[in-house]
A and B are shown apart, each in its own frame.
Chain A
Amino acid sequence: MKSQPNSTKKPFHLPTGPRESRRHTRKMDSKGIYQRALRSAFEKLHPKIAVKNPVMFLVWVGTIVTAMMTVNPHLFGPVAGENLRLLNGFIAAILLATVWFANFAEAVAEGRGKAQADSLRSTKSDTLARQLFPDGSIQEVKSTDLRRGDIIKIVVGDMIPADGEVIQGVASVDESAITGESAPVLKEPGSDVASSVTGGTRIISDELVIRVTADPGKGFIDRMIALVEGADRAKTPNEIALTVLLAVLSLVFLIVVATLPALANYANSPVSVAILIALLVALIPTTIGGLLSAIGIAGMDRVAQFNVVATSGRAVEACGDVNTLVLDKTGTITLGNRLAEEFISVNNHSAEEIARVSLAASLFDETPEGKSIVALARKYGANDVDFDSSTAEGVEFSARTRMSGTNLPDGSEFRKGAVEAIKGFVRSRGGKLTPDLDAAYERVSKLGGTPLAVCQNNEVYGVIYLKDIIKTGIRERFAQLRRMGVRTVMLTGDNWITAEAIADEAGVDDFIAEATPENKIEVIQKEQAAGKIVAMTGDGTNDAPALAQANVGLAMNSGTQAAKEAANMVDLDSDPTKLIDLVTIGKQLLITRGALTTFSIANDIAKYFAIIPTMFAAAGIGDLNIMGLISPNSAVLAALIYNALIIPALIPLALKGVEFKPLTANQLLQRNILIYGVGGAIAPFAAIKAIDILVGLLNLA
């Protein structure tokens, strides 16, 4: 019989190695991506697809009209000037390139997901599964015929055919296909954490009987494939609002340009339709319009590369908005296991005595804490030989009793557990309590440790000081989060004093002591009522309601199926600190959109100064040609070429995301306005001038 861990939290399965080395677990063929994107960019010219991107659709229509004007420059009335065919042809070609570049950006972003999906799909093969029927017969069926609720048996070497819950057997499973983690994971029934298996993983020892929990095509891997492929990519609320803004700007400029010929004719400086289209394309926000979907896809992709599966882009975006992080102490702030540091004897007992009693109480405790108590007790000279473990009986830890221990055949009962629980135990056996127990308890609590009282029958021997080890660097991360305006709340089963000490040491903003999993949902609801966006991690079935309630719920892959289904993200590495990185990714996603929008609008100033003065040179405003562009035609071409080339130039930025620094909002605004606003206003002046000189040298116009 196994004893259970003596804390309410189970230790997390923590992956090894620094995070950087764990990224990019699934290798992708980047050359293939670009080749595929080159072709796909042409396919996206199909009107049915093109109409989905309003800004680019306008450019596409403009391309067709200018192409017609290349054939017949005087299609829409007589136009003055020479080499009109050449000019219109150039304009049409540049516009086509603009659309193609935008398609290419989207195709590259999608391509990365597709490549990932392919590698995931390779894990899914049609295998034969052994289905167990209620009458006990076994029959081989196709894995695609398995339905939710079916019972199957898998033996060593088998690919697990579907997501399921272990109901019988113990086996190690290689989950590297989805987590990239090569160390096998132990699966067994009953336990919350270790009982769920994922389709596509391989069993490498023994055999399991599992109950299928997902219908074909709805399993974890299928969901992941759909996500990384972007098949069911719905627009996020923010993207929708931005789409509206871009459509409005386009419509405003469409009205401006469409009404211009009447004004220009009246002012005796008529303009050709091709030039008007060029002006329209230069003004509408093509840069952001062309890259918007690529940014969103790449954002999801970044999350995926981080080994986190998000169920929707909405969840990723919400990460950037998070105000409050609700974090479990164990596994997130502190290392999963606490270690026994010291025995504090009370009631005039010696340290040796308490070591002996602690050893006896921990005999059946297999948790790291239990083992560390045994190790420490041995240091104090306690010896296993004093006990006959074969006749002894383990008392399991439960959340209700909050203690565990050992019963010996001679009737002595050894217990260790929460101080209050032990006090009750002792009192129930008619024992007396001494004030130095409380003193010891407080001392340990103030040190941030967990005090475990130990007793034999009705006699309290002392307190074990279990020390929490706070993860290195966590304090700095919390400081960063605070600067970003994210509040951290620590949840712990510890008492108030211990919790405060740890909260202090780790630098969290708030903590909830003596918390039960049910407390989580209360904390989240309270924060949400104050208008906050809350993120949390969880792995147990009892975390599922809270994960569903939180705006961002990150479930651990090692967790239960229920938790994974309730959450909107699953971390394949089961590393709860990743929540902090997800906040950064979410913000980066929004900032990238904002930066390119700002850049796109700021660019318009230079484009105006390039096109309008040369366009209306006949109206005598040539002096506004402050860039000294060579001719009206070269000015238009330079502005358009800049407009087209800026899209591929910014593809890397769109895919990688704008560099995020953990600054306050005001510092971020200052920095980004300077780079993308002011920079976006100035840079195109230089670029357009340079292109104009080139166009002049090549004598294109």
Chain B
Amino acid sequence: MSRFQYIWQTFAETFSESTRRRHFSTLQILLVMCLNLALAPAVLAATGAQISRSQAYSIAALGLLTFGLGAYLVFVIFQPEKF
């Protein structure tokens, strides 16, 4: 096995380790919401006065959701055996 394949595999393994627990724990959801708390004002600032505070919050959540789905698909691409 070449060194590169080794690195490749180690990467894939580490990656799968960190994402193995797909069912979100309460703590993870809390952390994501905290992140959202930081993101939402940025969205609000960027869009100007066109949207309300709650809309900014949900847009930021949607953005995080999209990002999460993207990460999920990347995981599927590298570890398709798990699906």
A interface, CB within 8 angstroms of B = 47-48, 51-54, 57-58, 61, 65, 74-78, 235, 240-241, 243-244, 247-248, 250-251, 254-255, 258, 273
Prevailing SS type, chain A contact patch: helix
- Taking a contact as CB atoms under 8 Å apart, the answer to whether B51 and A243 are in contact is no
CB nearest to A252 among chain B residues: B73
- A241–B47 Cα distance when bound, in Å, is 42
B55 adjacent to A240 (CB under 8 Å): no
Contact across chains for A76 and B62 when beta carbons are under 8 A apart = yes
B45 within 8 A of A: no
Q: Which of A47, A77, A240 contacts B81 (CB 8 A)?
A: A240
Q: Which of A47, A243, A248 contacts B83, CB < 8 Å?
A: A243
In the complex, what's the smallest C-beta–C-beta distance from A270 to chain B, in angstroms?
10
Whether A251 and B50, one on each chain, are in contact in the complex, defined by CB atoms closer than 8 angstroms, is no
Which residues of chain B come closer than 8 Å to A248, judged between CB atoms?
Answer: 73, 77
| Interface 1/0 per residue, B68-83 and A, CB below 8 Å | 0110111011001101
A-contact 0/1 string along B29-64, CB 8 Å cutoff: 000000000000000000100110001001100100
Known A-B contacts: A54-B72, A76-B62, A248-B73. Give 12 more (CB < 8 A).
A54-B76, A61-B65, A61-B69, A75-B55, A77-B47, A77-B51, A77-B59, A78-B51, A235-B81, A240-B81, A244-B76, A255-B70
Among the interface residues B22, B23, B69, B70, which one has the most CB atoms of the partner chain A within 10 A? B69
A57 partner residues in chain B, CB cutoff 8 A? 72
User: Per DSSP, are chain B's interface residues mostly helix, strand or loop, or mixed?
Assistant: helix
- B66 part of interface (Cβ distance < 8 Å): yes
- Tally of contact residues, B, Cβ under 8 A: 21
Cα A6 to Cα B77 in complex, Å, equals 58
Chain B residues with a Cβ under 8 A of chain A: 22-23, 47, 50-51, 55, 58-59, 62, 65-66, 69-70, 72-74, 76-77, 80-81, 83
B83 touches A53 (CB 8 A): yes
Give the residue of A75, A235, A240, A254 whose beta carbon is less than 8 angstroms from that of B69.
Answer: A254
Known: A77-B51, A78-B50. A251 touches B70 (CB 8 A): yes
**Contact partners of B66 in chain A: CB under 8 A:** 254, 258
Q: Are A247 and B77 in contact (CB under 8 A)?
A: yes
Alpha-carbon distance A58/B70, docked complex (angstroms): 10
Chain B residues near A53 (CB, 8 Å)?
A: 83
Known contacts A48-B23, A53-B83; A251/B73 CB under 8 A: yes
- Which chain B residue shows the least CB distance to A64? B65
> Nearest chain-A residue to B22 (Cβ)?
A51
Chain B residue numbers with a CB within 8 Å of A65 are 62, 65
Chain B nearest Cβ from A284, distance in angstroms: 10
User: How far apart are the CA atoms of A516 and B42 in the complex, in Å?
Assistant: 79
CB neighbours (8 Å) of A51 from chain B are 22, 72
A247 surroundings in chain B (CB, below 8 A): 73, 76-77, 80
A472 to B58, CA, bound (A): 72
Interface centre among A47, A77, A254 (most CB of B within 10 A): A77
In the assembled complex, which residues on chain A have CB atoms less than 8 Å from the CB atom of B50?
Answer: 77-78
Q: A74-B55, A76-B58 are in contact. Are A250 and B81 (CB under 8 A)?
A: no
A257 to B: closest C-beta gap in Å: 9
Alpha-carbon distance A538/B60, docked complex (angstroms): 63
Who on chain A is nearest to B51 by CB?
A: A77
Q: How far is the CB of B10 from chain A (nearest CB, A)?
A: 20
Q: What residues on A are CB-neighbors of B58 within 8 Å?
A: 75-76
Using CB atoms, name the residue of chain B closest to A48. Answer: B23
Q: How far is the CB of B72 from chain A (nearest CB, A)?
A: 7
Q: How far is A78 from B81 in the complex, measured between Cα atoms in Å? A: 42
A77/B69 in contact, CB under 8 A: no
Closest 6 CB pairs of A and B: A247-B76, A251-B73, A243-B80, A54-B76, A77-B51, A240-B80
| Shortest distance from the beta carbon of A246 to any chain B beta carbon, whole Å | 9
Q: Tell me the bound Cα distance from A251 to B80 in angstroms.
A: 14
Contact: B80 with A235, CB < 8 Å?
yes
- Chain B, Cβ-Cβ closest to A68: B58
Closest to A52 in B: B83
Closest approach, in angstroms, between the C-beta of B48 and any C-beta of chain A? 11
Residues in B whose Cβ lies below 8 Å from that of A243: 76, 80, 83
A76 near B69 with CB under 8 A, answer no
Q: What distance in Å separates the Cβ of B77 from its nearest Cβ neighbour in chain A?
A: 5
Distance (whole angstroms) from the CB of B2 to the closest CB of chain A: 21
- Distance between Cα atoms of A65 and B64 in the complex (Å): 13
Could you list 27 examples of A-B contacts with CB < 8 Å? A47-B23, A48-B22, A48-B23, A52-B83, A53-B83, A54-B73, A57-B72, A58-B73, A61-B69, A65-B62, A75-B55, A76-B58, A77-B55, A77-B59, A78-B51, A235-B80, A235-B83, A241-B80, A243-B76, A244-B76, A244-B80, A247-B73, A247-B77, A247-B80, A251-B70, A255-B70, A258-B70
Residues of A within 8 A of B73 (CB): 54, 58, 247-248, 250-251, 254
Complex Cα–Cα for A61 and B73 (A): 13
Q: How far is A248 from B76 in the complex, measured between Cα atoms in Å?
A: 9
Q: Compute how far the CA of A243 lies from the CA of B77 in the bound complex, rounded to whole angstroms.
A: 8
A239: nearest chain-B partner, CB-CB? B80
Q: Given A75-B58, A77-B55, are A58 and B80 also a contact pair (CB < 8 Å)?
A: no
| Chain B contacts for A52, CB-based, 8 A | 83
CB-CB under 8 A from B47, the residues of chain A are: 77
**Residues on A with beta carbons closer than 8 Å to the beta carbon of B80:** 235, 240-241, 243-244, 247
Known contacts A254-B70, A258-B66; A76 and B81 CB within 8 A of each other: no
User: Which residue in chain A gives the minimum CB-CB distance to B68?
Assistant: A61
Contact A244 B81, beta carbon cutoff 8 Å: no
Shortest CB distance A422–B (Å)? 58
Q: Which of chain A's residues have a CB closer than 8 A to the CB of B83?
A: 52-54, 235, 243
A240 to B47, CA, bound (A): 42
Q: Nearest CB to that of B59 among chain A residues? A: A76
Q: Cβ of A258: which chain B residues have Cβ within 8 Å of it?
A: 66, 70
Q: Output the least CB separation between A258 and chain B (Å).
A: 5
Q: How far is the CA of A68 from the CA of B68 in the complex (A)?
A: 18
**A697→B8 CA distance, assembly (Å):** 56
CB distance from A611 to the nearest CB of B (A): 19
CA distance A78 to B56 in the complex (A): 11
Q: Give chain B residues whose Cβ lies under 8 Å from the Cβ of A76.
A: 55, 58-59, 62
